Structure 1
């Protein structure tokens, strides 16, 4: 059974590919260049059941058509994980919203024309579910069935709004496609993703998109004031990857799998760093009590349905942080 993984060299996608290969799936990954594809193949030990196809710009309307024209009959399952490559965002609509939505439209259209796909699993976001204006309302209960009510115009205010909007509108496109065609679809809606890289050689301190919170705290100094910003949810990258595997192995048609673990303050991570890496004490900001900090988050998140389907316990913040930190410290020669 062949699985197409879009953006196969990405932080999350590499872990997904790892799970798939261990289950003996035939994996076809999309990459932006020959060099990236060859590196990916080498990193996984050059297995015969892993190949790649080059798509330099996945946001182009017909970007996926050559791939599906060439290999569409092979592909049984599509895991759409990739996001368009955005650098120096200046226009939230044209640099984020439009490319992300167009990417989803493009792959779905290619499937419609050339594919014989049985299942589609799309990586979305918890932000497509949450209404930030209800975070402080203790009477609010968010479930897998809820949707972020933000409009296209409202999603052009800042980077976070644009990102959440792009995921929302792209996911809506996918659900419309599934309704129209009857193709099996489920989505993975993860919270803020933390955790280690699949391959240590890919660790890039000071520029790691997914672990930038952890990385920034590793580079604090004693006495630095830490803003008590509350992050209401996170999830480990390996748990997100595992959820993708379960989504294709179980009957999850029509399901939105919302991956949510407890929230944290940056100080929580600093406390973990001070406790678990004693040699950092005196080099980074100090350990402090967080019990009196106010989260401002009073809404309830009910992901009972997701937990029933997945059936596993999520990775703790301590384990997720420590595994990422070890990689960064090794890269910097600090351990």
Structure 2
């Protein structure tokens, strides 16, 4: 069961929200890290925030990860890979615009890694979107055996008319399944084992580069801001699940270092949430936040999506350290330091 406790880790898409914390987690665990970015300009912020780690952090440019051999140079001297780079595109009309680069980028990396005998572990960051059935009519508990086949079918049947979320989630399903297919077909001759990690909504302080005001927030962070300060409880309207970015970073480290994690898929989640839960936690910290409606009663919420995280705890040994209050407090502190509050 190949695993490593020291060495150099390649983190793809290192300037992203999750990836930047992954870099920090591995550096903090004593690894050297090489991050991939699409241009030198995108590495300037990373070079600055990880300057204290000296030569143990470096970056390399991979301008188009879908090209054959795109990662060949980046993998020289690498012992493990954490693959986070993946396009986020909810504006694509043709599903292929988001599916093809996600699948082909993953396959390009795996093909290059197959020719690198020094690599012992590849961790692919997938998504809860590859696990859950988005429009399930009844509450359901999901685990590592679950796959989001519904959105793949919707894309196959409706094409351009499929929901934007279906197109994105289908890309995550198809990329992860292609990775497992490649691994199973080539396992006998590979030096490494594959691990996939499927987080739900991810929240926490920011390390990656953002603009000078809160308008530069995107994705989950943007929606969290809207919920806390504007009372805008966006999609999804029902409860789903979440995890703190720092717990996810630790999950990625454990996925590389735990021998028994090899060849495994892991669901990670701190639990269920509604936007009102975070708004309530924020309002108790600062009255600049907008209180949730007085009618909101968390005890009456029907949780449509729940995760069984037994495997992440028992196999990875992951401890979920952050709850609503801790994450909200640290996010607000981060935003205050940036001068946004």
Partner of 1:82: 85
Range 295-304 or range 306-315, more displaced: 295-304
Q: Deviations over 1:152-176 (max 9, x none)?
A: 3513522221221111110001111
Q: Is 1:261 matched up with 2:270?
A: yes
Judge conservation of contact 1:214–1:321 (CA < 8 Å) in 2: no
In structure 2, distance between residues paired with 1:109 and 1:81: 16
Q: Deviations over 1:99-128 (max 9, x none)?
A: 111111111122234564221100001121
1:306 CA displacement: 1.4
Judge conservation of contact 2:272–2:305 (CA < 8 Å) in 1: no
Q: Deviations over 1:246-280 (max 9, x none)?
A: 011102012111111222222222212221113x1
1:299 CA displacement: 6.2
Partner of 2:182: 177
Partner of 2:3: none
Q: Is 1:193 matched up with 2:195?
A: no
Q: Is 1:274 matched up with 2:283?
A: yes
Partner of 2:214: 205
Judge conservation of contact 2:280–2:292 (CA < 8 Å) in 1: yes
Q: 1:15 aligns with which of 21, 34, 38?
A: 21
In structure 1, distance between residues paired with 2:256 and 2:202: 21
Judge conservation of contact 1:234–1:262 (CA < 8 Å) in 2: yes
TM-score (norm 2): 0.84
In structure 1, distance between residues paired with 2:79 and 2:298: 52
286 and 247 in structure 1: CA distance in 2 versus 1, 3 angstrom threshold: closer
1:22 CA displacement: 1.8
110 and 329 in structure 1: CA distance in 2 versus 1, 3 angstrom threshold: same
271 and 300 in structure 1: CA distance in 2 versus 1, 3 angstrom threshold: closer
Judge conservation of contact 2:199–2:243 (CA < 8 Å) in 1: yes
TM-score (norm 1): 0.86
Partner of 2:255: 247
SS at 2:150's partner residue? coil
SS at 1:4's partner residue? strand
Partner of 2:224: 214
185 and 96 in structure 1: CA distance in 2 versus 1, 3 angstrom threshold: same
Structure 1: gaps of 5 or more residues: none
Partner of 1:320: 327
1:89 CA displacement: 2.2
SS at 1:75's partner residue? coil
In structure 1, distance between residues paired with 2:23 and 2:211: 15
Range 233-242 or range 307-316, more displaced: 307-316
214 and 84 in structure 1: CA distance in 2 versus 1, 3 angstrom threshold: closer
Q: 2:243 aligns with which of 235, 240, 244?
A: 235
SS at 2:284's partner residue? helix
164 and 115 in structure 1: CA distance in 2 versus 1, 3 angstrom threshold: farther
Aligned residue runs from structure 1 range 119-130, under 5 A: 119-130=121-132
Range 296-305 or range 259-268, more displaced: 296-305
Q: Deviations over 1:284-330 (max 9, x none)?
A: 35552422775443565322111212331241022212212222244
Range 290-299 or range 243-252, more displaced: 290-299
In structure 1, distance between residues paired with 2:34 and 2:107: 20
In structure 2, distance between residues paired with 1:225 and 1:20: 35
1:20 CA displacement: 1.2
Root mean square deviation of aligned Cα: 2.6
Judge conservation of contact 1:31–1:52 (CA < 8 Å) in 2: yes
Partner of 2:49: 43
Q: Deviations over 1:214-244 (max 9, x none)?
A: 2112442xxx685792231010111111100
In structure 2, distance between residues paired with 1:300 and 1:286: 23
Judge conservation of contact 1:3–1:75 (CA < 8 Å) in 2: yes
